[in-house]
Amino acid sequence: MTPLIDDTHDAELQSWVESANHPASDFPIQNLPFGRFRLKGSSAPLRIGVAIGDQVFDLKAAGLIATDDMNALMAAGMDERRTLRRAISMALRRGADNSESRAALLPQSDVEMGLPCHIGDYTDFYTSIHHATTVGKQFRPDNPLLPNYQWVPIGYHGRASSIGVSGESFPRPLGQLKAPDAAAPVLAPSRRLDYELEVGVFIGRPNARGEAVTMADAESRVFGIALFNDWSARDIQAWEYQPLGPFLSKNFASTLSPWIVTTEALAPFRSPFLRPAGDPQPLPYLDSPANREAGAFDIQLEVWLQTARMREAGQAGECLMRSNFSDAYWTVAQLVAHHTVNGCNLQAGDLFGSGTLSGPAPEQGGSLLELSQGGKHPIPLANGETRTFLEDGDSVILRGYCERSGMRRIGFGECRGMVLPARQR
């Protein structure tokens, strides 16, 4: 499917919501990401809105939708989604403001955000060959990349119930830890707590059980993309992950940004998908001309760390690394095609994690496991602190944005979570 660019992407388009016109805003009128909100302190059901500048536009109050069911909205076909995007764009364009539209506008500072939809199932993939290779070298120096990696989009089914929204905090997890020279494991708080820089891909239109989604149809099943931090307890993981893979090391917390940037908004920021020379080409069911031409998403990603000392000093934090989603070894369309080739039925609101998104350079590791080389090389911070893994009171902030000449910059907001001390048993 060829990404469609139309007048809703026009870089000169302005909104009557003046904060959306600021060049640094993540949420100009060209973006229009979806989320669910309610007034702070309210117990009212979550409503559907789009971010515009520093405001939230309540779509139901504006008369643009008749439902508060985000999953139902996500399940709509591409034509319906494009029609809704155009209607929202028209309502927010400069000169189109009226009393009904203004009444549907709320400051983001006055609302609390929920998860953007009901997440029924969650699958975490392993799409970064740079991450797979760097981590593999720590365990298998002579053979870091397993033989199936370049053929199969590797993934595992995770736990949806422990996914929270940006701004959350969570206690350091407990689990079994075993030192290399110990005769037996012990139950203790994780000492090697880590973040993972990922994006979350949301499924929109479902497929029937037994129906394999083709590459030609795969992107029509995707609603959009958010930022995703799949926190990991590396010491718990090292003891438990064989033979069945991650379990308690991953299911204690994952943090998601509250806004889904739609594939329509991302249309101007697509890139060719090219395998390095000498690598095997994907099997036919994972290949298509459209995927080769524009299957990748050019999304700039950043990880920031704010320690407790930085927060007390009023410091916003320090950027630890930058990478790009376009460096992933597998595309979003390939993930959908592979996930369904066996007949698996995806549902609206299902979430795919990309896996840790590291870049090709050593300083582009998408986790502390990589940046500190397994804890062997502490990372110096500008305020004199160091980190190998996360300490209590640390906040990790993920940020993402898209920029391209001739197009309006759009962003994803932030994905923030803080580590609390472990709870006593």
Whether residue 291 contacts residue 333, with contact meaning beta carbons closer than 8 Å, is answered with yes
Q: For residue 236, what are the contacts with CB-CB under 8 A and spacing of at least 6?
A: 173, 175, 176, 177, 190, 248, 249
> What does the alpha-carbon distance between residue 77 and residue 82 come to, in Å, rounded to a whole number?
9
Q: Does the active-site annotation cover 377?
A: no
Q: Which phi and psi angles does 412 have, rounded to 5°?
A: -115, 5
Burial of residue 82, with CB atoms counted within 10 A of its CB: 0-12 exposed, 13-18 middle, 19 or more buried? middle
Cα–Cα distance measured from residue 17 to residue 156, given in angstroms and rounded to the nearest whole number: 42
Both tokens of residue 75?
């399940």
Task: Please give the Cα distance from 133 to 365 (Å, whole number).
Answer: 11
The beta-carbon contacts of 370-373 under 8 Å, at least 24 apart in sequence, are: 370/131, 370/134, 370/135, 371/320, 371/321, 373/138
**Residue 323, strand partner residues:** 301
Options 9, 22, 130, 131, the catalytic residue: 131
Q: Following DSSP, what letter does each residue of 19-61 receive, concatenated?
A: GGGSTT-S--TTT--EEEEEETT--SPPEEEEEETTEEEETTT
* Rounded Cα gap, residues 388 and 406, in angstroms: 41
* Contact status, residue 275 vs residue 281, Cβ threshold 8 Å: yes
Instruction: Give the residue numbers annotated as catalytic, written as ranges.
Output: 131
